Amino acid sequence: MTIDIFHMLSEESKKRKARRKELLKTIGVKEYFSEGRIEIDNKICQGIECKLCIKACPTNALYWSYGRVNLVEDLCIYCAACVLSCIVDNCIKVMRKRIDGRVESFSKPSEAVKLLQTISSGKRVTLVSRVFRR
């Protein structure tokens, strides 16, 4: 009997997505990104004095255990709130893909702030053009 490893991997990924969807539904959180990845560099983390990312995470995906920040990846929605609050540049990296295919990545608070500014200036342009539409 031959084992189709690609089929098994895709089945596992489908099961993981379904499990994740169910989990997020129970806490009333909606997913905005089709895919994502998060990495935490515990070598440069100042967790003992800080833990700000844990306080900032809206889904409780981050927790403190064994003297370091840990992650429940199925609860992470790649919102980048942890990057925004982290006191060490490049300590947390969040990469995410929007539904329209755009890929974004953040590893410094300044990058997350820049995105927020782009979004609010985009909203301002839409509002102004609505008001002055001929």
Binding site for ligand SF4 (CB under 6 A): 38, 40, 45-47, 50-53, 56-57, 59, 61-62, 69, 76-82, 85-88, 91-92, 94
**CB nearer ligand SF4, residue 34 or residue 46:** 46
| Residues 76/95, Cβ–Cβ less than 8 Å | no
* Shortest CB 10 distance to ligand SF4, Å: 24
* Shortest CB 121 distance to ligand SF4, Å: 23
* Shortest CB 26 distance to ligand SF4, Å: 15
**CB nearer ligand SF4, residue 67 or residue 82:** 82
**CB nearer ligand SF4, residue 81 or residue 105:** 81
| Residues 40/69, Cβ–Cβ less than 8 Å | yes
| Residues 32/76, Cβ–Cβ less than 8 Å | no
